[in-house]
Amino acid sequence: MRGSSKMDVNEKRLLRNNPLFVITIACLLALLMSAISFYLYYNSETRRTVELIQQNNQQLNLDEVSDKLPEKLSKEYLDQVEKDVINEVTSHSTDFEFNPEDLSNSSLGL
């Protein structure tokens, strides 16, 4: 009984000292970590954002919009774009357009 446990310990020591075994384990660990990293990246918001930016850049054709571009970039132009965007988005009101009260039993006459 004692003899067989001594043999086990010896076998384990042999495995630990075997460089091929250590390298294989390290490679497997590296592979596993790469797979996990890839999986996390693939399912992340970052990947979707990067892909969308790439897609936008591919679709952006400077020739198509060249007639809309001012000759010179100016602070006034930046202010105007910001103002236009704010005007556009504030033209909608969440509270007014989607009022939960509209769907209440009393409002529906139930």
Q: What are the residues binding other proteins (CB under 8 A)? A: 48-49, 52-53, 56-57, 60, 62, 65, 68-70, 73, 75, 77-78, 81-82, 84-86, 88-92, 94, 97-98, 100, 102-103, 107-110
Closer of 8 and 97 to other proteins (Cβ) = 97
Q: With contact defined as beta carbons under 8 Å apart, do 16 and 22 qualify?
A: yes
For residue 78, the minimal CB distance to other proteins (Å) is 6
- Tokens, residue 23: 């390298």
| Nearest distance from C-beta of residue 41 to other proteins, angstroms | 17
How many Å apart are CA 15 and CA 25, to the nearest integer?
11
Q: Which of 62, 61, 59 lies closest to 51 in space, CA to CA?
A: 59
Q: For other proteins, give the closer residue by CB, 9 or 62.
A: 62
SS3 4: helix
